[in-house]
Structure 1
């Protein structure tokens, strides 16, 4: 009797994310005793006094060092290389993008494993000076003709495909039947149609607010949480503005409209941040920009845009639709097939919600 040998199941290849080490987390040495005398060091932070840094640094190797600088909105595109690399922020600040994102301040250190996607970008007026260190083989750009890096053109192409899909769905949305009674003047001339429209729209507006609250409460990325907080501040209370400024007085219950609204809310509980950006900004906010411009004709207002729900959305939603694009551009190409599906489904749900609003107007 022979025993069949079972081959081990191959495990998927994964790359660890870059390690960010704040300077203050490296234990400081302020003095040292030599020959019986204590000598002051000011502040000395040896990298090997940090456990994770000590594990990352090799005991032997050919050291390569290079000063690096970005300034005034410059960007080092997302790339990878076959050797470990350490980047030390010596002056200024810079944003890490790629497999991990975060703002880096003076004194911070980033440890980049082989194969990890990463890049750096500065904001307009911002400047970053750093030291790039490699421990094995030639420096990344030591050979100017054959640098040891690979830029992620595939990620750029995948992101472009997502933008094209979203633009196509946005063009389709511009032809939605909801806008017909606005374009032909029926809603502007008929108070009853306006009342029906406002009552149904209010249901969607409440779900939009709840979606933003849920996203803010559940976000664990400190950089994105701050971006989301700014968006929430600008959108806060628009459901109340709609109800009070435009006289919503009738409750509407529609199970399909409720189901579509709940789909967006539930995505904030289960989706990752990239999918949330696609849903909230590429789809919902892009549609709101079109919506505000197409519907405000029926609600003329003599005050400031902040006093009209429709004027306000026509004014701010184009900017809101661009939030999070840098995060999406930093992703691996492998993420985009899933995000394309998310984009399609979000547009499907949004069109369903607006179908129901149109049905209440035209019943």
Structure 2
């Protein structure tokens, strides 16, 4: 006779309970940008719950719900975009501006309901951060597949950024025609030690201000991510004024009140401008000019040793990369911010050309 199956009659209270578990937001891997149509778009911080194994195992696959923590810091923007599935965004902390088909200031506790195909984006208000929860109700999350995101970005922000790049490229082209480069192109500086000494003495003044500019920016930057980005740049540039003085025999710098004033302008922008303007000044303008400057002037200072032993060879080698720093931050901005950044770009080029005009004056005499 077969035995009957044993029934579990243990009272529910006596069974080992299932314990709640906690997953910290910072333990979910962060995604900060995504490539769509060959173009990189800034997301702020996006933390899809399914990027954490415990949460991925907890969320049901049937009646599939997708959730992600999202965050924008002060001055950041998620460009206007649309997607094929409905979505909701809950404002958990801070505030933001909803942009696109509907424009409205959001506050803590607000819920944004986004139908399929609706154009929308978010930008932070001055001095504010935005923390939210993004929810999709059908299928995969918008950025769950990082190589195939379910979004389509509109063109406005990309076009505004492209306008800034084009404007800067035109100023860089004009800078390449500066009279400072003529005596290098025709070989006069390479043949005349006295010209080289005069040039180096004036250049040393500008080199010291460049170092002070980077140190000031590093000291006052409140954004942790940008501070880390700037720190890498500072490490690669630190001490180049000393390299110029020691490797190229600079005894002393000249005193020129106009050159000093132009140098001070760059230094003071690091204390008063916002981070976007600083990126335009330091990287779009100064580092782009340094790339041209290094390539055009190094011919007068031939060096057979390692590139990092020559001020001119070093700048010719690394400044093109330095000019690309901060581009992702600029791409995250609202289109409305770019007209002012183009003005900043012009002012920085004007001051830079003024500084180099004074260096040319010490080299060649007044124009």
Q: TM-score, normalization: structure 2? A: 0.67
| Aligned-CA RMSD value | 3.8
Q: Does 1:294 align with 2:281?
A: no
Match for residue 90 of structure 1 among 24, 48, 51: 51
Distance (Å, rounded) in 2 between the aligned partners of 1:95 and 1:231: 28
Corresponding residue number in structure 2 for 1:44: 22
- Equivalent in the alignment of 2:261: 259
Contact kept, 8 Å, 1:211 with 1:268, in 2: the verdict is yes
**1:242 counterpart SS class:** helix
Q: Is the 8 A contact 2:156 2:335 kept in 1?
A: yes
Asked if structure 1 preserves the Cα contact closer than 8 Å seen for 2:270 and 2:278, the reply is yes
Match of 2:76 among 100, 111, 115: 100
Check 1:229–1:255 CA distance in 2 against 1; reply closer, same or farther (3 A cut). Answer: same
Separation in 2, partners of 1:165, 1:71: 27
Alignment-derived partner of residue 82 in structure 2: none
Q: Give per-residue Cα distances to partners, 1:50-108, cap 9 Å, x unaligned.
A: xxxxxxxxxxxxxxxxxxx989974596599xxxx995462499997785389xxxxxx
Size of the alignment, in residue pairs? 279
What secondary structure, in the 3-state scheme, does the structure 2 residue paired with 1:44 have? Answer: coil
User: For residues 125-204 of structure 1, what are the structure 2 equivalents within 5 Å?
Assistant: 133-134=135-136, 151-204=153-206
CA-CA distance at 1:117 after TM superposition: 3.7
CA offsets 1:295-336 (integer angstroms, 9 cap, x no match) = 000000000100000000000000000111111111100100
In the alignment, the residues of structure 1 paired with residue 342 and residue 274 of structure 2 have an alpha-carbon distance, to the nearest angstrom, of: 14
Out of 247, 250, 259, the residue aligned to residue 248 of structure 1 is 250
- Taking a change above 3 Å as real, the CA distance of residues 232 and 42 of structure 1, as seen in their structure-2 partners, is same
The CA distance in 1 between the partners of 2:339 and 2:346, in whole Å, is 11
Give the match's secondary structure for 1:322: coil
Give the one of 193, 205, 208 matched to 1:206: 208
Say if 2:48 and 2:69, in contact at 8 Å, map to a contact too: no
Q: Distance in 2 between matches of 1:296 and 1:133?
A: 56
CA 1:294–1:77 in 2, change beyond 3 Å: closer, same or farther?
A: closer
What residue in structure 2 maps to residue 359 of structure 1? 361
Q: Distance in 2 between matches of 1:320 and 1:95?
A: 30
Q: Secondary structure at the residue paired with 1:41?
A: coil
Classify the secondary structure of the residue corresponding to 1:250. Answer: coil
Cα offsets for 1:99-145 (capped at 9, x unmatched): 5389xxxxxxx9666447469xxxxxxxxxxx95158xxx989xxxx
- Cα deviation for residue 228 of structure 1 reads 0.3
Corresponding residue for residue 333 of structure 1: 335
Contact kept, 8 Å, 1:78 with 1:330, in 2: the verdict is yes
Match of 1:237 in 2: 239
Match of 1:350 in 2: 352
Gaps of 5+ in 2: 1-11, 54-67, 79-88, 100-119, 124-132, 144-149
Change (3 A) 1:111 1:229: farther
Gaps of 5+ in 1: 1-33, 48-68, 103-109, 120-130, 142-147
Offset, 1:184: 1.0
